[in-house]
């Protein structure tokens, strides 16, 4: 496939039609998103929003729509030999302090060129746009040698990539390439740092608080380690594209037989962000070296929870680093799609946070790019809202990409 070749007159006409239809259906897209926002959908509680997404896909004329055992919605268009998946997670974080919002976070208000509410950016805006993209593909009579799976995935906020571990290992869906619709502020993203969650547990010996010298205080051990972990953060390696690795303590808990006793247990929870070249083995070794000589245990956490379907599923809480080079075919196809649609070059960048691509690309090696409506700085923040123009642009991009990758 020569992705640098000039489009034929027919393709130019197709791209013009895609832009026209994406604009024509902008209210339809905004209203679909509004319906999704109005349904609270925390991780493992997505049932009602998934049923709404199924309804929207069916109304858009998808060839097939189903819900898998974990609760992911899978819509299909086409039946070609190559497989493209377009992913967007349907779970959101909670509202937080309602006093920080100036509008109803579950109102789905459409006003002043925006759709307002929790999940508008992170990240139901992407799925709302790809539903419209599916409608346009059907209207245009898309008949290329391509199968497109539009996936409304679950439980991402609790465990990035778990949904795709299930799709690949249990459903047998292994795409040739993937678009993540996480917010990119309308740029094309080609990677992000990995992450892992680590517990460091310290075991001391209790004694009466009136004679602390008789015991061994686990809090003091943990505190000494904490200060070294703070120093470690400054020394972690960096990558020219992904940036620096990081580590921070996000929780400190302790235990004691009494408030009049020396603490015999303490635990640190570490949020470790991994840049290129860092692995779970290297990250664990760094912490083990800090606690060497202490009665301490370093371990990676596991995630195992019941989905709304009742299925319990899990994975280790290690989410690998990934990136594609800018000259990668998938990145270049994205750039070509954007340029032919909008007449300018896109910004090519990376996410600060983590996405489902930790498993899609990081574990299974399936190339992924990101393109999604909204600015990631509004993810998990109060007053979350997405521009309707972003939804229109994303709709057009997903549609055009299906044609471009088929050339």
In this prediction, residue 294 carries a pLDDT of 98
State the pTM of this model.
0.94
Q: State the pLDDT confidence band at 10, using cuts at 50, 70 and 90.
A: confident
Model confidence at 4: pLDDT above 90: no
- Selected residue with higher pLDDT from 7 and 29: 29
Model confidence at 182: pLDDT above 90: yes
Report whether 123 contacts 183 (CB < 8 A): yes
Q: State the pLDDT confidence band at 11, using cuts at 50, 70 and 90.
A: confident
Q: What percent of the chain has pLDDT over 90?
A: 97
Model confidence at 220: pLDDT above 70: yes
Q: State the pLDDT confidence band at 9, using cuts at 50, 70 and 90.
A: low
Domains of the chain, residue spans: 9-192+321-404, 195-306
Q: What is the DSSP string of 10-76?
A: HHHHHHHHHHHHHHHTHHHHHHHHHHHHTS--BTT--HHHHHHHHHHHHHTT-SEEEE-TT--EEEE
For the chain, give the mean pLDDT: 96
Q: Could you tell me the CATH superfamily of domain 9-192+321-404? A: Zn peptidases (3.40.630.10)
Rounded Cα–Cα distance for residues 19 and 4 (Å)? 21
In this prediction, residue 12 carries a pLDDT of 83
**What is the Cα gyration radius of the chain?**
24
Level-2 CATH architecture, domain 195-306: 2-Layer Sandwich (3.30)
Model confidence at 194: pLDDT above 80: yes
Model confidence at 2: pLDDT above 50: no
In this prediction, residue 3 carries a pLDDT of 43
Residues designated catalytic: 91, 156
User: What DSSP designation does 279 have?
Assistant: -
- Longest Cα separation, the chain: 87
């Amino acid at each position: 496939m020569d992705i640098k070749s000039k489009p034929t007159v027919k393709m130019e006409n197709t791209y013009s039609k895609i832009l026209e239809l994406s604009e024509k259906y902008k209210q339809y897209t905004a209203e679909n998103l509004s319906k999704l926002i109005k349904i609270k959908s925390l991780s493992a509680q997505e049932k009602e929003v998934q049923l709404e997404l199924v309804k929207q896909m069916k109304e858009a004329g998808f060839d097939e729509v189903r819900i898998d055992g974990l609760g992911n919605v899978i819509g299909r268009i086409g039946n070609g030999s190559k497989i493209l998946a377009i992913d967007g997670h349907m779970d959101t974080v909670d509202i937080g302090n309602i006093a920080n919002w100036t509008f109803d976070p579950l109102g789905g208000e459409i006003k002043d060129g925006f759709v307002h509410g929790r999940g508008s950016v992170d990240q139901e805006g992407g799925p709302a746009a790809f539903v419209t993209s599916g409608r346009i593909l059907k209207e245009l009579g898309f008949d290329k040698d391509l199968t497109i799976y539009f996936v409304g995935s679950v439980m991402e906020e609790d465990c990035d990539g778990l949904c795709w571990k299930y799709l690949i290992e249990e459903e047998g869906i292994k795409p040739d390439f993937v678009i993540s619709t996480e917010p990119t502020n309308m740029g094309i993203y080609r990677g992000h740092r990995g992450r892992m969650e680590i517990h460091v547990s310290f075991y001391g010996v209790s004694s009466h608080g009136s004679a602390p010298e008789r015991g061994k205080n686990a809090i003091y051990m943990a505190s000494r380690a904490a200060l070294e972990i703070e120093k470690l953060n400054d020394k972690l390696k960096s990558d020219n594209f992904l940036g620096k690795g990081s580590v921070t303590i996000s929780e400190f808990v302790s235990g004691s037989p009494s408030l009049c006793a020396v603490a015999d247990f303490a635990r640190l929870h570490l949020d470790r962000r991994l840049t290129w070249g860092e692995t779970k083995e290297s990250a664990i070794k760094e912490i083990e070296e800090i606690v060497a000589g202490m009665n301490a245990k370093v371990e990676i956490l596991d995630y195992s929870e019941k989905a709304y379907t009742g299925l319990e599923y899990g994975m280790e809480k290690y989410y690998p680093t990934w990136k594609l080079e800018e000259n990668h075919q998938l990145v270049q196809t994205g750039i070509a799609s954007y340029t032919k649609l909008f007449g300018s070059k896109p910004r090519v960048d990376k996410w600060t946070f983590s996405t489902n691509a930790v498993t899609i690309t990081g574990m299974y090696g399936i190339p992924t790019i990101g393109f999604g409506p909204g600015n990631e700085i509004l993810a998990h923040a109060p007053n979350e809202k997405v521009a309707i123009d972003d939804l229109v642009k994303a709709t057009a991009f997903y549609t055009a990409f299906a044609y471009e990758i088929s050339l």
